[in-house]
Amino acid sequence: MEQTTGGAAALPTYNLNPEQEKKEIVRHYRALLRALRPKLKKGDKELLRHAFEMAADAHKTMRRKSGEPYILHPIAVAMICVEEIGLGVRSTICALLHDTVEDTDISLEDIEREFGTEIARIVDGLTKISTVMDTNSSQQAENFKKILLTLTDDPRVILIKLADRLHNMRTLDSMKQEKQLKIASETVWVYAPLAHRMGLYNIKTELEDLSMKYLEPEAYREIAKRLAETKRERTRYINEFIRPLKDKLQNSGFNFEIYGRPKSIHSIWNKIKKKGVSFEEVYDLFAIRVILDSPQEKEKEDCWKVYSMITDEYMPSPERLRDWLSNPKSNGYEALHTTVMGPQGKWVEVQIRTKRMNEIAEKGLAAHYKYKEGSNDEDRFDKWFGQIREVLTTQDTDGVDFLQDFKTSFLAEEIYVYTPKGEVKMLPTGSTALDFAFAIHSAIGTKCIGAKVHHKLVPISHKLRSGDQVEIITSNKQKPSEDWLNIVVTAKAKNKIKDALREEKRKIAEDGKYVLQRRLESIGAAYNQHNIDELVQFYKVPSSLDLNYRIATKQIDLKELKDFQVLGDKIEIPKPKPVIPDIAADPSRQYSRKDSELIIFGESSDKIMYTLAKCCNPIPGDDVFGFVSVGKGLIIHRTSCPNAAQLMANYGHRVVKTKWAKNKEISFLTGLKIVGLDDVGVINKITNVISGDLKINISGLTIESREGLFEGTIKVFVHDKEELEELVLRLKSLQGIQSVERFDAETVS
């Protein structure tokens, strides 16, 4: 997929007359019908036409931000469902109607009357999701549970929602910047992992690339440019690599396709970040794909034969073999991946799969069910939905925690771990022996004191790897403790531990309740709801359970009770007088809600209390946003901060637009990492450029040299991004310097 932004981008100006508009809408609708033709049965065409006319009429006065008629959006979403996800007629009808209940006068009853219960249920699910994810409400993550309930009820809901999100991302150009950042953050935080988990690799990749285009525009443009520049030599290399393999496969009588495709911009960027390498050093900028036309009973055998031919020609890297034929991923993905040493000493990834496997890899869940028809086996998708259902029914944590747990429990890659009897359990990557214990049974989890992995004793916090055989060791004296929550990653284990801790807390709180009762009676007050509420408020605890628990554990000693007045049997707590700030005395506090949406800080820093986030250390000139925190005022983060996606996706209502005002009086601390050849006088050269030429203050400098290379970190005070960029350019131009990078996620202190 050389084109990374797929689909039609929103038109910046839309100027068709009503007649042309009608033709445009009909043209799109006809294209949709053509794409659906192989799936149409008797009566389907009429139903589709009815849905299209109903949606077109309902949306007739509405426009998108780009100016185009709104109905083009549902048609585009339906087209993605058909062509890119492989859904059928009923899903297409749902896609055409997906915004009608929320945005127009059409009710769910109307849809049920016209199209039946099944379609009404899916549209209802889609309506719930849009009110969940696209508002600024702090309920976003809380309501995300509703999405998952509809997902396990009918997975088509989530597939259509992914198509809707993909079209919104493709047409995001017409939105305001803060909306772009919020939608892109949410996409990369929730929707891309969800697409991956549903087996929709192409859609997942495109969602990640499009999010990156808005969240990391510079890095995105740079990699896209480099990919375009190297396209010709890449194509030449791919052809050279493929030539001998083609001959071998043809001589063996295989019916096959073989081609190279570039990796996505987002995955290249991830490699550059994780491995700390430059674009030129990312060895797998592309992957070679071999797709075989094999009957299902011979698929495995054929894939391994092809693997054997490829490794006869090119030397494989043994630790880079991935066998998802014997053990498919839980999203149905099957393939054989290997990395081999190609011509010119370059490592090349090769993916071997059959046509059926390829369709499942591209169309995910929809294709998976197509091939499953007629089989009664409970497959991995069903098991996955079952696990989600189990967690949702017992889940009562707050929304944001839930979303985080859901990501680590259900959207991560998985590992396969065996019980002593050889039963396989599927767990998310990063799971520990304690997660495995809870996966077997919650009673085993709560009594777990350790485990044996391949007969060797390990602690409960031991991280498991795919293929481990694990035996859990229990003791009746064991009880879960608070720190267990930091050991486990699965939502099931977290819920069961919280339940056990609550039960324990309740038992201890009973003692506190008895103490409180006696103390209240000693001052002539009753143990009643009014008095408990008053004390909960006075001691600032979340609930009466916490009050009793803290009394029992002596965190609260009730000595203040003697100062309270008792009227009848009720206690009266004296209320402190409220302090009313004198706004007239402090004119800097007078800024309206409208001003607060665009806070310009720097020059006007005296007006607004702000702090710079330690996770990304922004400096003037960086793209930034303000995050309204509890107690710390406004915290300024870079939009490329490692925590930005999570903050914008979960707390969109607390994010404010911010930009810098020029202020040469204030300087900001930032850090640079320099790597180069260890040469005499290299430190002198570096400090000359910084202090001598550019008159920049150095806060700290550490240099380590090893085997002819040096690695240095320099902390400097700069006024803005331009000054920092000038410094980086000057340092890069010094002889022997290999790379100069601003360090990002580490704290500069």
Give the CB-side neighbour count of residue 74, counting CA atoms within 13 A: 31
Q: Is 57 assigned a catalytic role?
A: no
Helix (H, G, I), strand (E, B) or coil at 63: strand
Kindly tell me the burial class for residue 286, based on how many C-beta atoms sit within 10 Å of its own C-beta (0-12, 13-18, 19 or more): buried
Q: Is 102 assigned a catalytic role?
A: yes
Please check whether residue 656 is in contact with residue 647, taking contact to mean a CB–CB distance below 8 angstroms. no
Nearest to 435 by CA among 404, 405, 457: 405
Instruction: Spell 447-464 as b/e; 16+ CB within 10 A means b.
Output: bbebbebeeeebebebeb
| Count of C-beta atoms within a 10 Å radius of residue 239 | 11
What is the spatial distance between Cα 453 and Cα 469, in angstroms, rounded to a whole number? 6
Q: Report in angstroms the alpha-carbon separations of 131 from 106, 152, 334, 666.
A: 16, 19, 35, 43
As given in the structure block, the two tokens for residue 27 are 């043209």
Nearby residues of 104 by Cβ (< 8 Å), 6 or more positions away? 58, 59, 62
Instruction: Spell 298-310 as b/e; 16+ CB within 10 A means b.
Output: ebbebbebbbebb
Please check whether residue 701 is in contact with residue 689, taking contact to mean a CB–CB distance below 8 angstroms. no
Provide the 8-state DSSP code for 421: T
Please check whether residue 109 is in contact with residue 99, taking contact to mean a CB–CB distance below 8 angstroms. no
Give me the amino acid identity at 623. D
What is the spatial distance between Cα 608 and Cα 601, in angstroms, rounded to a whole number? 8
Query: Which entry of 103, 118, 124, 569 is annotated as an active-site residue?
Result: 103
Nearest to 691 by CA among 730, 642, 658: 730
Q: How would you classify the pairing of strands 697-706 and 315-316? A: unpaired
- Please state the separation of Cα 311 from the chain's center in Å: 36
Nearest to 190 by CA among 404, 14, 375: 404
| Count of C-beta atoms within a 10 Å radius of residue 75 | 22
Query: Which entry of 24, 102, 110, 222 is annotated as an active-site residue?
Result: 102
Backbone torsions φ then ψ of 529, nearest 5 degrees: -60, -40
As given in the structure block, the two tokens for residue 379 are 């497959």
Q: How would you classify the pairing of strands 336-341 and 624-629? A: unpaired
Q: How would you classify the pairing of strands 624-629 and 668-677? A: unpaired
Name the residues annotated as catalytic. Answer: 102-103
